[in-house]
Chain A
């Protein structure tokens, strides 16, 4: 099965740089069919679908950021800690007029540090973002040792609830998705991201400010993670220093399932969406089966391994 997956995804890659293939679309489609047939009343209920969208939104926003970094052949494991820190900041006693800009400023700064460390100093992305991840985890505990605090009502209103029957979560998902898609396909910056991911030195020779583009990808990724953090804080109505832990790997899983190549230059917003959807559907299905959260995380780990194994590459190691 892995071999077939691999062959298919390889073919998709040689044809385009989207990484979209029958598999990336087929996994969520077949999961939907299976769930709809197995539990028609539950899965297709408005309640569950709303739930699904809510579950997806955070991961989708993070995955879209992770995608930008993956396209420039990077990896950002610090997104989870950025989310945690963001929830801790906005749940503090600061006024939202101060705490929200502060969270964004911190996110942008983290992205800059990651970007400069990786692009400017040639530190391996994993090492660099592991170190910021750890640092920010500490910062999150420093700000808020245990979950709690209150979230500004403005955030809660924006994140939950619905307008004209459309849940706000869906609106945010759509905004994030179309913004990143437009960035990737309708701007020079988007094309330059792919160029840098394809071959940074050639891109530089071609007049693409390769370093600036790559650093921007890290900054955007962190800023998107702040967005995700705001959303999480609003949904859970509290700050939690450990709430983001799983998002680093989950976002990588999502984009890998969506056909993005971690070696750079290949990936798509649609793939990030289908990958996120697949993960959310798996969680949804496992919830229906009453599988414990820990076992779910184990299963997601297995899924990540399968998704990564399906990506054929020539390099061995990192």
Chain B
């Protein structure tokens, strides 16, 4: 019989999990006390998410054991884990869009009355649970009609409704803006004060220090250490994560010439949206900052023709100052021909051809503006050169892109646009899912691109990234630009102040 220290809610003992030849998690042990918040951190690929999946019942360990309140447990699926008291809020929410909030809450454990679904009880129970997490929406609302923070609250409500003793949060703030992170923090505090054990999986140092009592650091699937957060400072933690000190993530800024590369006037990104105007200078990296869902995405996507704007008056100037008009309503093709490349946030579904080779992915960039039935040029040496320049880590350019790491996939995305010879890049979340090392390289590449005369617009929800990378920052709120500042002068507080100012917040968490 296993013995567990008193108060331990969940414990992992020597967990191992391999995918093919790679050991994703090797011999990891950790114990989470009730009434505490325990962070699990590490670089991308360190094994955080695999460990989370083992604890949550998504994957089963190859060896090792799991103890919930001192008893051995093995979960068939996350619902099974939930019944045993382990609730997981996944990074990609698992709510079903075509089910109501109540149905989502009780999916897989629906109340029955005389063998039939008891919809009335389900709705009533759901109302009570929603009230407990402070979410003021009808339980009969379809999940597809909730905002992202509301969806997250429903996920948490699932755990509360099952009276879980362990709550696992997988990168919970990835899709939240800063105000929402605060409300999440309050909710976590509340759970802790009610004696729940919370496992907080994140690579965001700030939150780890803010929310967590203990931190476990993983590297290459192995446990590095578990220590109280109070005994560490940020630099210590980064050193533990990376295994070496990280000096400067961001490349130095350069001076910007006054030449305008892209003059965006009266862009109305969608029906009923306010009009925006701004200029992007040659050699500039322009950041668009703001709370999530304030219109950054729409501005970037309508500018590049990915979604059709209502109206716009956009002028694109090349290095010689020759101006051409761009109408994004003609779609992304028109934008690409004008020399604007768009890098979507979700590389795998919207950006890359995972089943095609690096060569194909990059060479497609060379085809733009060629007639449909002209010969496709062979550009192997060109692609090799660009891959080398970008320090792409791959065995050969014949390797499928699907087999690359997140950072290298992002490099392939950029390589395609460099190959296309665009001089404006519009990038959503440039380093989402990219590990620290590759992050620095990607920042370097963007700066290099700007130094050679290109211009970059970055929409990012990571304020440190906006501040560190950009020459100039526009703050967006309610679809309008409310402030402009130089990157060198910008601070997190300053940006937030503008991003939040007078913004009516939805009632979310009590």
Is any CB of A less than 8 Å from a CB of B in the complex? yes
Determine the distance from Cα of A190 to Cα of B103 in the docked complex, in whole angstroms.
12
Residues of B within 8 A of A265 (CB): 96-98
Interfacial chain A residues near B80, Cβ < 8 Å: 207
Task: Confirm or deny: B144 has a beta carbon within 8 angstroms of a beta carbon on chain A.
Answer: yes
B375 within 8 A of A: no
| Contact, CB under 8 Å: B110 / A205 | no
The answer on a CB contact under 8 Å between A207 and B109 is: yes
In the assembled complex, the Cα of A206 lies from the Cα of B109 at a distance in Å of: 9
Closest CB in chain A relative to B158 CB, distance in Å: 9
Choose the segment among A52-60, A191-199, A230-238 that binds chain B (4+ C-beta atoms closer than 8 Å): A191-199
Contact, CB under 8 Å: B99 / A191: yes
Whether B481 sits at the interface, judged by CB under 8 Å, is no
Which residues on A sit within 8 Å (CB–CB) of B95?
A: 202
Q: A205-B58, A205-B90, A206-B78 are in contact. Are A191 and B97 (CB under 8 A)?
A: no
Contacts of A135 in B (CB 8 A): none
Could you tell me if B117 and A206 are in contact, using CB atoms closer than 8 angstroms? Answer: no
CB closest chain-A residue, reference B122? A191
**A96-107 Cβ-contact flags toward B at 8 Å (1 or 0):** 000000000000
For the residues of A in contact with B, the DSSP-based class is helix
B55 at the binding interface (Cβ < 8 Å): no
Closest-by-CB residue of B relative to A71 is B98
Q: Cβ of A195: which chain B residues have Cβ within 8 Å of it? A: 96, 99, 103, 107
Residues of A within 8 A of B58 (CB): 205
A178: Cβ under 8 A from any B Cβ: no
Residue B329 interfacial (CB < 8 Å): no
Q: Are A191 and B98 in contact (CB under 8 A)?
A: no
> Is A188 an interface position by the 8 A CB rule?
yes
Which residue from A16, A190, A203 sits with its C-beta under 8 Å from B107? A203
Task: Count contacts on B: residues with CB < 8 A to the other chain.
Answer: 26
B2 to chain A, nearest CB (A): 26
Please measure, in the bound complex, the distance between the C-alpha atom of A205 and the C-alpha atom of B104, giving whole angstroms.
12
Q: Among residues 206 to 238 in chain B, which have CB atoms less than 8 Å away from a CB atom of chain A?
A: none
Is residue A42 within 8 Å, beta carbon to beta carbon, of the partner chain? no
Q: How far is the CA of A315 from the CA of B314 in the complex (A)?
A: 29
**Is B108 close to A, CB under 8 A?**
yes
Interface: A208 (CB within 8 A)? yes
Pick from A17, A192, A204: contact of B77, CB below 8 A.
Answer: A204
A203 pairs with B77, CB closer than 8 A: no
Do A194 and B77 touch across chains, with their CB atoms under 8 A apart? Answer: no
Task: Indicate if the CB atoms of A206 and B116 lie closer than 8 Å.
Answer: no
Cross-chain contact A190 with B117 (CB below 8 angstroms): yes
CB distance from B169 to the nearest CB of A (A): 15
Q: Give A134 Cβ to nearest chain B Cβ, in Å.
A: 29
Give the Cβ gap from A169 to chain B, nearest Cβ, in Å. Answer: 28
CA separation between A208 and B79, bound complex, in Å?
8
Q: How far is the CA of A195 from the CA of B117 in the complex (A)?
A: 15
Q: Does chain A have a CB within 8 A of B142?
A: yes
Most A CB contacts (10 A, CB to CB) among B108, B109, B110, B145 go to B108
Quick check: A206 and B79 within 8 Å, CB to CB? yes
CA distance A65 to B142 in the complex (A): 25
Given A14-B144, A16-B142, A205-B58, answer yes or no on A199-B96 (Cβ-Cβ < 8 Å): yes
Known contacts A14-B144, A186-B117, A187-B116; A198/B79 CB under 8 A: no
Taking a contact as CB atoms under 8 Å apart, the answer to whether B116 and A198 are in contact is no
Q: How far is the CB of B464 from chain A (nearest CB, A)?
A: 31
Q: Which residues of B contact A192 (CB under 8 A)?
A: 107
Task: Give the complex CA separation of A203 and B99 in angstroms.
Answer: 11
Is there an interface contact between A207 and B144, defined as CB atoms closer than 8 Å?
A: no
Closest to B145 in A: A14
CB distance from A208 to the nearest CB of B (A): 6
In the complex, the answer to whether B117 meets A199 with C-beta atoms within 8 Å is no
Inter-chain CA distance A204–B77, complex, in Å, is 8
Contact A205 B97 (CB under 8 A): no
Minimum distance in angstroms from A136 CB to a CB of chain B: 32
Taking a contact as CB atoms closer than 8 A, the residue among B77, B90, B117, B144 that contacts A185 in the complex is B117
Q: In the complex, how many angstroms separate the beta carbon of B331 from the nearest chain A beta carbon?
A: 14
Closest chain-A Cβ to B324's Cβ sits at a distance in Å of 29
- Bound complex: CA A8 to CA B46 (Å): 49
User: Does B94 touch A at the CB level, under 8 Å?
Assistant: yes
- Verify B116–A207 contact, CB threshold 8 A: no
Per-residue A-contact encoding for B79-105, CB less than 8 Å = 1, 0 else: 110100000001001111111000110
If A205-B58, A205-B78, A207-B107 touch, whether A194 touches B99 (CB-CB below 8 Å) is: yes
Cα of A265 to Cα of B100 in the assembled complex, Å: 12
| A63 to B96 CA separation, bound complex (whole angstroms) | 25
CB <8 Å contact, B99 and A198 = yes
Write out, one digit per residue, whether chain A residues 3-22 have a CB within 8 A of any chain B CB (1) or not (0): 00000000000111100000
Cα(A205)–Cα(B58), bound, Å: 7
- Taking a contact as CB atoms under 8 Å apart, the answer to whether B98 and A17 are in contact is yes
Q: A198–B98 contact, CB under 8 A?
A: yes
Given A16-B142, A17-B142, A187-B116, check contact A206 B110 (CB 8 Å). no
List 27 A-B residue pairs with CB atoms under 8 Å apart, sorted by A's residue number: A17-B99, A17-B142, A186-B116, A187-B116, A188-B117, A190-B117, A195-B99, A195-B107, A197-B98, A198-B96, A198-B97, A198-B98, A199-B94, A199-B96, A202-B94, A202-B95, A205-B77, A205-B78, A205-B94, A206-B79, A206-B104, A206-B107, A207-B77, A207-B107, A207-B108, A208-B79, A208-B108
**Other A-B pairs, 13, CB within 8 Å; known A17-B99, A206-B79, A265-B97:** A188-B110, A188-B112, A191-B107, A194-B99, A199-B94, A202-B93, A202-B95, A203-B107, A205-B78, A205-B79, A207-B77, A207-B109, A208-B108
**In the A-B complex, the 6 residue pairs with the closest CB atoms:** A207-B79, A207-B108, A198-B96, A202-B94, A265-B98, A198-B98
Binding site for A on B (CB under 8 A): 58, 77-80, 82, 90, 93-99, 103-104, 107-110, 112, 116-117, 142, 144-145
Task: Identify the A interface with B (CB < 8 A).
Answer: 14-17, 182, 185-188, 190-192, 194-195, 197-199, 201-208, 265-266
